[in-house]
Structure 1
């Protein structure tokens, strides 16, 4: 079987050494040595400052929102459910704008239209879908014009740059997921990258029950810390990242070059690299989608209709400024196998099945 995803397996010999250090220290959580080392190394590797490790990607979104004082969001309907449910859980108001038909990211024009129609959202929440950067310049201009905040869900965007600048440095905050299925993982985990150091320091208190080290409890908080064992997994996996990203991006290029005349592919940001986080294709309609999925399944190839349905169809109680593009894309989107253990022969087989099915 060619699996849709296969998590990166940490080097057990390296991991054992870290685990022995943790046991010898007797320090298992609460900003320990492994946590601090991983923070420093990730900031250096990703080219960012003010990176805060947390226990998962959903917490990352919630901590970013609480830190920035978010009460209402305008977001994309084409994303993983946590992009919106994280905010709804906190009783934030949610409304939707449409996606760009070519990139599948939140459309700046749709965001402008929403505000013209009376949207009162204090924060724009946009996803770099499949690792493809949003139009960050256009969204930043809206941010400045409307005096609102921007949070980027960058769960798919580990290692992505626009030119020479990390995509994580745009917006007021960018959140990462380090779930086992992601390009880089700590089994479970995540991070928030803040634009401003003051927000970073406030968030440090929030993830530790609102405790400030010298003053005690000064804020309402929760427990969202990353523990030492998970940090150790991150340190081991980070050693492999250059090779992993090169391999996955190569597979991504092979897929896109082989399928560009066969299926629709998302228009990639012209100044951005690719990390091979996902391999999405867009089929013409649900019937063609099901036909391709059936053919792949018969050949022991996994695939996933991801993301579907459009989130405005799940959260029907929230105002929607119109999302026909999201509805159309979500009806025909399909993610193909993509992971660090995938081979070029595997990719060739997947493409052969798709081409034969659609010929």
Structure 2
């Protein structure tokens, strides 16, 4: 059965609609998704399709949240409030313990600090509370010598950088994001979903793998006490069910800065558009110099946590590493259920994609490569 996309595309972007409809048709029944894109600060794609979803629907964006968190940090670095090469203990003295004395903000944001979790793991209540995570992490000995390797700080990077923001400004990262980014630019992406928007939220649906995919997942599942197991809190007595995290009102209300963002494809795309372009008469959030520094690869090679090749800038992923047709200074972040969001300053493109059902095998959904390429090709 063909699923037709709803929404609009600007003249010249009709192939994006065709590509989106093709991906909807290829998915198993019940798949719902949203797609939005901007070029030069103007929205050129606004599409959605599948059961139960509209352009206004909100879903959990998992680690695409990290883009919002570290856009906020980038603004504070740009202002001079934070310095990338200052030791974390300069802002947060309690962190300077157990071998972490020399870790800088730059080290932390490039996933080089080794503080991927804590011995024994976190409770569900702690995972919804960045300050609780920060208190536990301050005393933790790193799982590798800081600076010697890197690994994805999946559940904790937003809590770590967020505590630095709170110590430096007196406000939480979520509060700074709200006042500096979300509210003034009208961005439909929340770090702490207000009660009045709860009716727009769609529960994330669990992955529905084929038998072959189930076997592949079982073969690649990291051990509970491996780097991957610790980073994804599988070593706790009650291992975390990643798929269900945003379905908890406690997580949605608090908006933990690593995984707790709630938003739409419109919101993701508009945030990255605002990062690099004038939007509705408002100046770009980042100067080209700041955007280039945060996009510049800092950690390249084998990721100890994910067990694969990876490329990180500062808080952001290097998007051109996954999509080589993009500019070298493109930056963004994907999310576990399949969301993807990024900016490419070389073309002025900003892209946002969300899906309701968890994609196999996790991380950016496979169809994002086709959709990003379709937008890119229409820019010409």
Q: TM-score, normalised by structure 2?
A: 0.28
Q: TM-score, normalised by structure 1?
A: 0.29
Largest Rg, 1 or 2: 1
